[in-house]
């Protein structure tokens, strides 16, 4: 079923690409677009994951240089019955994460330094379980292909004015066609991104909660990540907005998460679904209040910096009964908990 969906998506994106080419250069432009689309299909299947990781300047880590983070991913992959994915770290203060790869045997997961610094051990585990759910459902290939095509289509739309300015380019629509390509192409690519991402995030939330065993861990993590994304810009994502739907939360600074044209479903709705799931599972951690724990203040965030950031003077937590903001420490043997 996933193979059929991927093939249909490739066909739709190829048709969209050819349509933009026709608007810009007529039949000749359409044939050129077809050749480019064929090359993009092949490139997307084999190399799109490498390109996405490179665009985010992700660095591969292992049990030696990131033992706590690596151990969490390793234990969760075993829990989900998946091969151990390549594990990457992104030097970015915005808390976020994504998964990529053409299949579970060639998958990769990436988390930002901001995620590891601002979330608790349990919340990080829930986020990585969500990303492994995408791997298990084989969403990573589809979403990475969409990111590659959306970027190519948007770029083609941006160049439409220059490519379509020649009267001898066989364009039957003239300047109107060029203008339509400039406006419609990025918009159509965004619609495809929305259709792919929104439907898959809910299912990845559900499966991720099953993998880690606690829906409320993921609910709390989503709340913190969404608040952090609103306050902290992600320059790499801003330069390549076609990648936005890959992340667990929209990384574009200032983008409203409940916007009609957002690539992600409403964070509040996702949290509500996880809370309902927790009640159905009889999770003892269900809270009576609807509001999740807020993102720590800047001062708290500096104090909770873990091994990925600068060490800060230790102070007792404001609420001793709750988990520490970042229980990573410097233990070279990895975390002490259910994921160790």
For the stretch 87-107, pLDDT in tens is: 999 999 999 999 998 899 999
* Residue 176 within any structural domain of the chain: yes
Q: How many domains, the chain?
A: 1
* Residue 297 within any structural domain of the chain: no
Side by side, the strands of the sheet bearing 86-90 are 58-61, 86-90, 108-112, 97-100
* Residues spanned by the domain of 165: 1-283
Q: Catalytic site residue 68?
A: no
* Residue 12 within any structural domain of the chain: yes
* Residue 301 within any structural domain of the chain: no
Residue 150: pLDDT band by 50, 70, 90 thresholds? low
Mean residue pLDDT across the chain: 74
pLDDT at 271 over 60: yes
* Residue 292 within any structural domain of the chain: no
Distance between CA atoms of residues 246 and 191, nearest Å: 15
Distance between CA atoms of residues 107 and 109, nearest Å: 7
Higher-pLDDT residue of 293, 97: 97
- Confidence at residue 301, expressed as pLDDT on a 0 to 100 scale: 39
Residue 327: pLDDT band by 50, 70, 90 thresholds? very low
Higher-pLDDT residue of 25, 251: 251
* Residue 57 within any structural domain of the chain: yes
Annotated binding-site ranges: 130, 134, 201
pTM above 0.85, yes or no: no
**137, 200 contact by CB (below 8 A):** yes
* Residue 320 within any structural domain of the chain: no
User: Which of 240, 248, 238, 255 has the alpha carbon at shortest distance from 133?
Assistant: 248
- Confidence at residue 324, expressed as pLDDT on a 0 to 100 scale: 43
Residue 268: pLDDT band by 50, 70, 90 thresholds? very high
- 306-311-313 Cα angle (round to 5): 115
- Rounded to an integer, the average pLDDT of 290-299 is 37
* Residue 248 within any structural domain of the chain: yes
Higher-pLDDT residue of 117, 155: 117
Annotated binding-site ranges for Zn(2+): 130, 134, 201
- Confidence at residue 45, expressed as pLDDT on a 0 to 100 scale: 73
β partners of residue 37: none
- Of 196-205, 259-268, 284-293, which gets the smallest average pLDDT? 284-293
- Rounded to an integer, the average pLDDT of 184-193 is 63
Which residue of the set 68, 122, 123, 131 is catalytic?
131
């Amino acid at each position: 079923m996933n193979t059929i969906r991927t093939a249909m998506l490739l066909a739709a994106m190829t048709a969209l690409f050819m349509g933009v080419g026709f608007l810009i250069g007529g039949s000749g432009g359409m044939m050129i677009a077809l050749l480019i689309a064929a090359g993009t299909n092949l490139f997307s299947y084999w190399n799109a994951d490498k390109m996405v990781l490179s665009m985010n300047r992700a660095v591969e880590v292992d049990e030696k240089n990131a033992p706590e983070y690596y151990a969490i991913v390793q234990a969760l992959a075993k829990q989900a019955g998946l091969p151990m994915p390549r594990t990457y770290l992104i030097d970015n203060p915005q808390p976020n994460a994504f998964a990529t790869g053409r299949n579970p045997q060639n998958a990769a997961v990436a988390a930002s330094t901001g995620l590891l610094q601002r979330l608790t051990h349990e919340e990080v585990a829930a986020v990585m379980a969500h990303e492994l759910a995408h791997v298990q459902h084989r969403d990573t290939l589809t979403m990475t292909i969409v990111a590659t095509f959306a970027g190519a289509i948007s770029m083609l739309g941006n160049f439409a004015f220059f490519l379509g300015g020649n009267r001898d380019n066989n364009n039957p629509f003239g300047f109107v066609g060029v203008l339509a390509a400039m406006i419609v192409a990025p918009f159509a690519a965004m619609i495809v991104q929305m259709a792919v991402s929104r439907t898959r995030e809910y299912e990845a939330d559900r499966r991720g909660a099953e993998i880690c065993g606690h829906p409320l861990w993921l609910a709390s993590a989503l709340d913190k990540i969404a608040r952090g994304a609103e306050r902290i810009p992600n320059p790499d994502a801003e330069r390549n907005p076609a990648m936005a739907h890959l992340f667990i939360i929209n990384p574009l600074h200032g983008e409203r998460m409940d916007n009609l044209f957002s690539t992600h479903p409403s964070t509040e709705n996702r949290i509500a679904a996880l809370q309902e799931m927790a009640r159905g599972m009889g999770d003892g951690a269900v809270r009576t209040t609807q509001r999740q724990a807020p993102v720590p203040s800047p001062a708290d965030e500096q104090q909770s910096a873990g091994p990925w950031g600068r060490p800060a003077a230790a102070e007792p937590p404001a609420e001793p009964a709750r988990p520490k903001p970042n229980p990573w420490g410097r233990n070279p043997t990895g975390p002490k908990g259910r994921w160790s």
